[in-house]
Amino acid sequence: MNEGAPRTSRWALWLPLAVFGLFVALVLYGLLRPASRDIPSTMIGKPLPAFDLPAAQPDRPGLAQANMATGKPRLLNIFASWCIPCAAEAPQLGELARLGVEIDGIAIRDHREDLAAFLARYGNPYARIGADDVSAVQLAMGSSGVPETFVIDGKGTIRYQHIGDIRADQIPMILQKLQEAGQ
C-alpha cells in the first residue's frame, strides 16, 4: 500500500471503530441498567457502635448498645414520625412483634409529641425507643435514611440491613434473617 505508514493489517483499521462501539455499549449498559440509590452499610458483620440514647417516650426506656446484646437476635428499626414509608411499614412491624420478634426503635430527629401521635395512630411494636436528635447513632451505624431495619444477633453484632420499609411479603425473609442470626 502506501510506503510511509507502518504496515498494518486490514483488521487493525477497524480497531478504533470497535473500541468506540464497545464504549457506546458500555455507556448504554450504564444508562439502561436500573440504578439503585441504596447505600448499603459497611458495618454488617461488625459489632454495634457504642451508644446510649435517652428515652424518646415516657412509657418506653431509652436504648443503649448494651441493651441489644441479649443472647437473642433482635430487630433495630430506625424510623421517624415524619417519615411516610415508616407509617406504611408499621403494620409489618406490628405483625413481627405479634410473632414474638423483639424490636427496638431509634427515632431520628423527632419531636416527642409527634412521635407519641405517630405511635398512637400506627401502633407501638417497640420494646425500647431511643431518641437520636442529631442522627449521631444513625451515622455511626452506616444508615443513610429512614426507615431502615437492622438484624442484631445475640452478641450485639450487626448481621443484616434492610433499606426502606418492610413490605408484607418480606416478613418471611426478615424472620429467615433473624433465624440465621440466631444460629
Partner 1 sequence: MIRLLSLLLLALGALAAPLQADDRLPPAPYAYRQLDNPVQEQKAQALMETLRCLVCQGQSIADSDAPMAGDMRNQVRQRIAAGEEPEAIRQWLIERYGDYVSYAPRITASTWPLFVLPLAILVLAFLLLRRRFAAPEKLS
User: Is 1 one of the binding residues for partner 1 (CB under 8 A)?
Assistant: no
- Encoded one letter per residue, x for contact with partner 1 by CB under 8 A and - for no contact, window 21-50 reads ----------------x-xxxxx-------
User: Is 52 one of the binding residues for partner 1 (CB under 8 A)?
Assistant: no
Site for partner 1 in 58-97 (CB under 8 A): 80, 82, 84
What residues are paired with 76 via a beta bridge? 104, 150
Q: Which of 104, 110, 148, 165 binds partner 1 (CB under 8 A)?
A: 110
Q: Distance from CA of residue 149 to its chain's centroid?
A: 6
Q: Which stretch binds partner 1 (CB under 8 A): 10-18, 90-98, 102-110, 175-183?
A: 102-110
Smallest CA-to-CA distance from 153 within 129, 128, 175, 182 is with 182
- 103-108 and 126-132: which strand pairing? parallel
Smallest gap, in angstroms, from Cβ of residue 19 to partner 1? 11
How many degrees, rounded to 5, is the angle at CA 81 between CA 79 and CA 84? 85
User: CA 133, CA 64: separation in Å to the nearest integer?
Assistant: 15
Smallest gap, in angstroms, from Cβ of residue 168 to partner 1? 22
User: CA 71, CA 76: separation in Å to the nearest integer?
Assistant: 15
Judged by the rule CB under 8 A, the positions of this chain that interact with partner 1 are: 3-6, 37, 39-43, 80, 82, 84, 108-111, 114, 133-136, 138-142, 144-145
